[in-house]
């Protein structure tokens, strides 16, 4: 099973996780949490302007609890999970948090090659709206899923050529 992921983080120079969104390829299970303890002085202007306005208190989780909640979430997934992301940074955040759960495949699906395809791009753009904003980790993960589904529907071929070793 593919799990589409996205993260928001403090800055590109020294990235610290701010939020993590994940959604299964069938869209039935999702995970979304925001780190409660944010060091505001480490945030880039981008994060301050576009990411933090999307945060809501009901999704805050202390960093000390983040690992356990994510580990528990993985435990309820099928025996083979392939992470799908448009950046290795997102994948590394997950690995740094939970290591390699027994059901996590050592390969990840690199969506970067699809970003500039018309089908993928249009599906991602159509997914986002006022209720599903850009730069919200769960909304972006779900948009990746929509883009991949649209691309797969048109291409009707395997995505194995996009697999990369973690």
| Size of the chain, expressed as the number of residues it contains | 166
Task: Provide the residue range defining the domain that includes 149.
Answer: 2-165
The answer to whether residues 33 and 6 touch, using CB atoms and an 8 Å cutoff, is no
pLDDT band, very low/low/confident/very high, at 105 (cuts 50, 70, 90): very high
90 burial class (0-12, 13-18, 19+ CB within 10 angstroms)?
buried
* CATH label of the domain that carries residue 48: 3.30.420.10
User: CA-CA distance, 112 to 19, in Å (whole number)?
Assistant: 20
Asked if 104 contacts 139 with a C-beta cutoff of 8 angstroms, the reply is: no
Residue 118 has pLDDT above 90, yes or no: yes
Q: What is the pTM of this model?
A: 0.95
State whether residue 72 is helix, strand or coil: helix
Count the domains in the chain: 1
What the block records as the tokens of 129 is 């709206």
Residue 68, pLDDT above cutoff 90: yes
Q: Give strand ranges (E) for the chain.
A: 2-9, 17-24, 30-35, 60-61, 81-85, 104-110, 163-165
**33 confidence band (pLDDT: 50, 70, 90):** very high
- The confidence score (pLDDT) of residue 153 equals 94
């Amino acid at each position: 099973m593919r799990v589409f992921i996205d993260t928001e983080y403090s800055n590109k120079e020294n990235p610290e996780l701010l939020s993590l969104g994940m959604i299964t390829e069938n869209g039935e299970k999702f995970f979304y949490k925001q780190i409660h303890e944010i060091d505001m002085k480490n945030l880039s202007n981008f994060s301050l302007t576009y990411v933090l306005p999307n945060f809501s208190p009901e999704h805050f989780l202390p960093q000390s609890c983040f690992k356990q909640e994510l580990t528990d979430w993985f435990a309820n997934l099928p025996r083979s999970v392939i992470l799908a992301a448009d950046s290795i940074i997102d994948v590394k955040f997950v690995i740094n948090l939970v290591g390699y759960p027994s059901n996590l495949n050592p390969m990840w699906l690199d969506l970067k090659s699809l970003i500039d395809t018309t089908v993928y791009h249009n599906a991602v753009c159509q997914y986002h709206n006022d209720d599903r904003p850009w730069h919200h980790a769960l909304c972006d993960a779900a948009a990746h899923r929509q883009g991949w589904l649209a691309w797969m529907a048109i291409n009707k071929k395997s995505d194995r050529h996009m697999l990369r070793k973690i």
